[in-house]
Amino acid sequence: MPPAASARRPPSASRNSARRSRFRAGGGTALALPTDVTDRAAVLAAADRVADELGRADLVFANAGRQLISGITDLAAADWDAQIDLNIKGVMNTVQAFVPALESAAADGRGADLITTSSIAAVRVLEGFQVYSATKAYITQLTRLLRTELGRKKIRVATIEPGMVDTELPDHVTDPAASKLMADLIAQIDVLSSEDVAETVAFMSAVPRHVNLTEITILPTEQII
């Protein structure tokens, strides 16, 4: 099916327009749906619109996330809730909204892929990242368990665990030490771009249907933390 995109914080109108223009120049169709993925009803409505305008989804990439770093004794409960709501509940809302379409695609003999974004923070010990890392560990384990059920239905389930990516994610960070760590990485090494992650997703979904690349860690070559 043609690509559709929804986001917690939608891209600017100019970015959306540029992306649609690229698809159309290649003879394709694209649909951009600004959606708060923490709102279950909104995600369900977005899934319905995708089905109505583009057909049933056969590739779902649950990528929305938020990173708010603080010491646990700071008791930044609002930050904890914000990360849990987006990083965990947002993914669960996406699963609820799109798994039926993936089941239909697989039953029709088409490829069907559910890909999530975790993080290397899920498996590394980084001071101050307690809640963020825990939400990403949840996503990694959730993906493994979803595969045991959905794989029997020929739906491939996988997760990507990126290292440092040059996106707006570091802009959320208010902890000075974590902000310096990320700024130094961006300044000192050639970090990943969102296009690098997108190409990885495309590769994972393009392999033969009987092949499931279940967990991919993608790091800048020079990143060592």
Active site residues: 132
Cα separation of 124 and 141, whole Å? 15
31 touches 2 (CB < 8 A)? yes
Partners of 47 in the β-ladder: none
Element of type H or E holding 114? strand 113-117
Q: What are the tokens at 211? A: 């092949």
What residue type is assigned to position 127 of the chain? Answer: E
Identify which of 96, 95, 87 has the alpha carbon closest to the alpha carbon of residue 157: 95
